[in-house]
Structure 1
């Protein structure tokens, strides 16, 4: 677990640093205790302890949620993980993420299932009993209400695929763009060129129209 934080958090200096200063590690460890109490049928004490953990870390994980191995929560403030959420192994989650339920009173599965090695970027909202496939990435501030296939990066509101499969690349913090064709600076430059080309075509069309009118 500590090695996972050292591998994915460039600010982590040592295992001792992670133990002392990582709120994500503390929240996950606290959740394991609450989840065990929940499994023993001590649901009210589990909820009470979970609320204490939220108060100390700013991270809310319902005791019923199933969390896999080596869950990495970076920064973590404002993270909310609902009761029927299932999280696989080696998942990375950033601040402000909500793994939330659909707005109904149904007691069944209401929250998402996150596949192994998925990355959920800062501020993203993943809502409903949908599945985020293994090695998928959810970009920062995306709102996901439909299933995401394995290895796919999604961005935007509502979330939509962007670029080629994420599985072809290694770990990318915040679930950001994984491909060269998604570089914001290059896309902005191309957009400026397109606008300039359109302006030239419009100007040429205006001149041709004037010539015809004069002739």
Structure 2
């Protein structure tokens, strides 16, 4: 593991962190201020993310992809608010826990961008005696640094973890420790490799993720951005499955599978903004409508209408939702009204 240089051991400055949930300022800063050093005291992460992801990160329809690609991609002179936040958090943690300083330096502070740090973290989680960390780092960096779609997705995903998962302490903790996030980003690389015809390598990454994290996502599966894969353990997503943008998948045995030995298009299609409860199983080539909620433990065998709530085995509609994207609010607690609806099935 890399060691801190003498220069890096100088006491780190105190930085006041601003929560990402703060309200946005009424007016954006002047254009001449954009290239000034990042000041956490006066310019919140939420403000800067609003400039980078102007509307789509807020849950509105995706505009033309070329118009929303962050300007800092491929330009080291432009600020990256997510990467800035990760680095500042890592510096603070190194100061609070000196025993982790070498780990934080090697994983985050020694790198130039989020893609390089993520590649390093993923490679060291997935390495084995015959699949070396250096080889994996090269693979991940080569794909991520040349794919603007992945660059965008890894940032929207980490924002989803920070916003929706109460166990996520910081952007830094999601990048370093959350295997749901790790599994998702390896899948994005594997999916890109699959599309390039490098199917053996993509399958090798899938297999390794399944062994290490207990998450099995076929490289051909199509997964949108702004995804929360909570915990990840036991999640299975089949080859022809499609998961829309801003979907939240709760932990343990979320199974998007087929119903037997059929071939062709045989897996579920999950609409944008859906919330899939823990231990839910969705089988067959069926559609889960936009903004739908699948209750924990449900077995879904037929299509789910948009903005509806289904529960049971087999699942049936027990109500409809007023919120546009339940995946963003994460209101899936077992309230009295919820139990009343269940009893009426």
Report the Cα offset of residue 164 of structure 1: 2.8
State whether structure 2 residue 252 is matched by structure 1 residue 109.
no
> Is contact 1:120-1:174 (8 Å) kept?
no
State whether structure 2 residue 180 is matched by structure 1 residue 24.
yes
* Higher RCO (CA < 8 A, seq sep 6+): 1
> Could you list the per-position Cα deviations for residues 62-84 of structure 1 after superposition, in whole angstroms to 9, with x for gaps in the alignment?
00000000111001100000000
Q: Secondary structure at the match of 1:148?
A: coil
Aligned to 2:246: 90
Report the Cα offset of residue 48 of structure 1: 1.1
TM-score (norm 2): 0.50
Q: Give the one of 141, 162, 171 matched to 1:6.
A: 162
Task: For 1:199-210, list aligned pairs within 5 A.
Answer: none
State whether structure 2 residue 302 is matched by structure 1 residue 150.
no
- Give, in whole Å, the separation in 2 of the partners of 1:145 and 1:125: 9
Report the Cα offset of residue 143 of structure 1: 0.3
Q: How many residues align?
A: 185
Q: Secondary structure at the match of 1:162?
A: strand
Q: CA RMSD in A?
A: 2.2
- Counting strand residues as a fraction of each chain, which structure ranks higher? 1
Unpaired stretches in structure 2, ≥5 consecutive residues: 1-156
Q: Give the one of 52, 59, 63 matched to 2:215.
A: 59
State whether structure 2 residue 295 is matched by structure 1 residue 132.
no
Aligned to 1:100: 257
Aligned to 1:204: none
> Is contact 1:140-1:174 (8 Å) kept?
no
> Is contact 1:139-1:174 (8 Å) kept?
no
Report the Cα offset of residue 49 of structure 1: 1.2
Task: For 1:113-192, list aligned pairs within 5 A.
Answer: 113-165=269-321, 167=323, 170=326, 171=328, 173=330, 175-176=332-333, 181-182=337-338, 184=339, 187=340
Change (3 A) 1:78 1:18: same
- Give, in whole Å, the separation in 2 of the partners of 1:166 and 1:130: 23
Aligned to 1:213: none
Unpaired stretches in structure 1, ≥5 consecutive residues: 192-215
> Is contact 1:153-1:166 (8 Å) kept?
no
